[in-house]
Amino acid sequence: MEYDTAFKTISDLGRLLATREISSVELTHDYLRRIEQYDRRIGAYLAVTADLAVDQAECADRLLARGEGGPLTGIPMALKDILSTRGLPTTCGSRILEKYIPQYSATVVEKLERAGAVLLGKTNMDEFAMGSSNEHSAFRPVRNPWDFDRVPGGSSGGSAAAVSAGMAAFALGTDTGGSIRQPASLTGTVGLKPTYGRVSRYGLVAFASSLDQVGPITRSVRDAALVLQVIAGWDPRDSTTARADVPDYVAALDGGIRGLRLGLPIEYFGEGMSPGVEARIRSAVDAFRDLGATVEEISLPHTHYGISTYYVISPAEAMANLARYDGVRFGLSSAGCDIWETYANTRQAGFGREVKRRILLGAYALSAGYYDAYYLKAQKVRTLVKAELDRAFQRFDALLAPTSPTVAFKIGEKAGDPLQMYLSDVYTVPANMAGNTGLSVPAGLSEGLPVGLQILGRQLDEATVLRVGHAFEEATGYSADRPDLSAAAPA
């Protein structure tokens, strides 16, 4: 039964549960066996909550037996370890929070619990979400299920790898500069970054507060719509959430895209993109035209400034957010002879190299004499990027672009060159700077590895982005591609 269920979508599993062809307890044990079988090699999980998962599955089965529950009831899932979970460790992939156990759960976690989803565990990640490869986890790197010598992308690489390898039906990640969409692209999964404010950030451990957003990683676009339906909405505990109605995302999927106008930014096809990725994206454009959509080129000249602007603003916000880890209130504490030495010792011992690098960048950008030259100017450019996208969406219903300029790269290939690593997010960062929604869907293979197509949409218009992605998925079938995991299984 394990291999019959591992790569099924939420919709497929929901039908099996509803007809009682399988119980949630049986399904949960299937996924736990797969985690035991494959995750020693992949490293997607930092903690597996087997006992809790079985308890939740038993509750879900009782609901289903009474004909109650919803589309996520009894469905096993995983959470990026940056989302607070009451009574369970939340490490953010960092030694400084290795023993931290929150006293409350994030709003999205509470919503999934009320929906009857089953928590399999917390997934690995780049420390405090700072990375594009999942090599910056303080505990161990995550390996791509498609090629164990390659990265799965980051910082939500653990969530993406878990879904790609059939070790969770879906997972939540966070996207600050592309950290849902880029790993989804590299692992052949679907990744949705909602509009900033569409999903509550309460209980999300902050990296860059004006950029972070929670979203799903799934096996299909329909699954992404199902999860977003549950986690979206205004939250009185998060003042940045939008007081906007949540539409029926699933109902909007099947409207077709004939007559839609789609833009193709020419700046997204520049130096650094691999020929194989460009070929797959050009092929995807042809598929959209065959489906009846109009695709026209558009220029977004401020795209070139997105990545440099992001790496001024996000480290500045990170520096401020990470100041709370002082060795006094929670987490790791390395005692010194006074408070200042304790503070310094704790941060020296608890933070990894990439986190320290970004703290230094942020402190520099905000320091006297450099604030106007760097941080203030970056915020002005951010406004230009947003205005440019706003103008584009006056002409087009959505924009098409690559998600990542390359397929998954080798572990260690970019570890010694931070600038090359940062460029992995060059196509995803603008949506975060502007607060728009973005979706990555599988677009076929290059060099035997997944390529992701990115669909960008207006703010709070996830329905259109999901509809465009669903039409492409149905026409091409690329989301059905799966990795060969035989090399990950123990002998």
Tally the domains of the chain. 1
pLDDT above 50 for 2? no
Give the residue from 27, 11, 53, 34 showing the smallest Cα distance to 166.
34
- Does 145 fall in a domain? yes
Q: Are strands 449-457 and 437-446 parallel, antiparallel or unpaired?
A: antiparallel
pLDDT digits (tens, 9 = 90+) for 207-252: 999 999 999 999 999 999 999 999 999 999 999 999 999 999 999 9
Pairwise CA distance, residues 403 & 440, whole Å: 6
Pairwise CA distance, residues 192 & 184, whole Å: 9
CA angle 230, 232, 238 (to 5 degrees): 130
- Does 153 fall in a domain? yes
Instruction: Band the pLDDT of 9: cuts 50, 70, 90.
Output: very high
271 is written with which tokens? Answer: 């130096």
Q: What are phi and psi of 338, to 5 degrees?
A: -150, 180
- C-alpha distance across the termini of the chain, in Å: 21
Pairwise CA distance, residues 141 & 42, whole Å: 8
Q: For residue 251, give the CATH number of its domain.
A: 3.90.1300.10
Give the residue from 139, 25, 156, 148 showing the smallest Cα distance to 93.
139
Instruction: Band the pLDDT of 304: cuts 50, 70, 90.
Output: confident
Residues 6+ apart with CB under 8 A from 41: 143, 148, 487, 488
- Does 332 fall in a domain? no
Locate the DSSP E strands across 322-436.
398-402
> What percent of the chain is modeled with pLDDT above 70?
99
427 is written with which tokens? Answer: 């196509």
260 is written with which tokens? Answer: 């839609």
- Does 451 fall in a domain? yes
The pLDDT of residue 1: 40
- CB distance 115 to 72 below 8 Å: yes
Instruction: Band the pLDDT of 3: cuts 50, 70, 90.
Output: very low
Region for residue 454 given its phi and psi (left: phi exceeds 0; alpha: psi -120 to 50; beta: otherwise)? beta
Pairwise CA distance, residues 313 & 360, whole Å: 13
State the DSSP string of 348-370.
HHHS-HHHHHHHHHHHHHHSTTT
Pairwise CA distance, residues 327 & 120, whole Å: 31
Residue type, 299: S
78 is written with which tokens? Answer: 């995983």
The stretch 349-374 carries a mean pLDDT of 92
pLDDT digits (tens, 9 = 90+) for 175-218: 999 999 999 999 999 999 999 999 999 999 999 999 999 999 99
- Does 402 fall in a domain? yes
Q: Is 2 helix (H, G, I), strand (E, B) or coil?
A: helix
Any idea which residues carry the catalytic annotation? 80, 155, 179
Torsion of CA 368, 372, 373, 377, to 10 degrees: 150
Q: Which of 118-122, 262-266, 341-345, 405-409 has the lowest mean pLDDT?
A: 341-345
- Does 351 fall in a domain? no
Tell me which residue range forms the domain holding 149.
2-300+386-488
Pairwise CA distance, residues 336 & 146, whole Å: 46
pLDDT above 70 for 378? yes
Instruction: Band the pLDDT of 490: cuts 50, 70, 90.
Output: low
pLDDT digits (tens, 9 = 90+) for 389-409: 999 999 999 999 999 999 999
Largest CA distance in the chain: 70
Q: Indicate the DSSP class of residue 150.
A: B
Region for residue 331 given its phi and psi (left: phi exceeds 0; alpha: psi -120 to 50; beta: otherwise)? left
**Rounded to whole angstroms, what are the CA distances from 260 to 171, 288, 392, 395, 430?**
30, 10, 14, 11, 22
Pairwise CA distance, residues 485 & 198, whole Å: 36
Q: Is 27 helix (H, G, I), strand (E, B) or coil?
A: helix
Pairwise CA distance, residues 14 & 490, whole Å: 30
- CB distance 114 to 105 below 8 Å: no
Residue type, 490: P
The stretch 126-145 carries a mean pLDDT of 96
- Does 261 fall in a domain? yes
Pairwise CA distance, residues 347 & 369, whole Å: 26
pLDDT above 90 for 111? yes
The stretch 54-79 carries a mean pLDDT of 97
Give the residue from 350, 359, 368 showing the smallest Cα distance to 319.
359
Q: Is 9 helix (H, G, I), strand (E, B) or coil?
A: coil
Q: Is 191 helix (H, G, I), strand (E, B) or coil?
A: strand
Tokens 């087997």 belong to which residue? Answer: 50
- Residues across the chain: 491
- Does 369 fall in a domain? no
224 is written with which tokens? Answer: 């992404």
Q: Is 165 helix (H, G, I), strand (E, B) or coil?
A: coil
Pairwise CA distance, residues 270 & 304, whole Å: 10
Pairwise CA distance, residues 294 & 287, whole Å: 11
Q: Which residues does residue 76 pair with via DSSP β-bridges, in sequence order?
A: 118
Give the residue from 151, 98, 93 showing the smallest Cα distance to 124.
93
- CB distance 351 to 332 below 8 Å: no
What pTM value is reported for the model?
Answer: 0.96
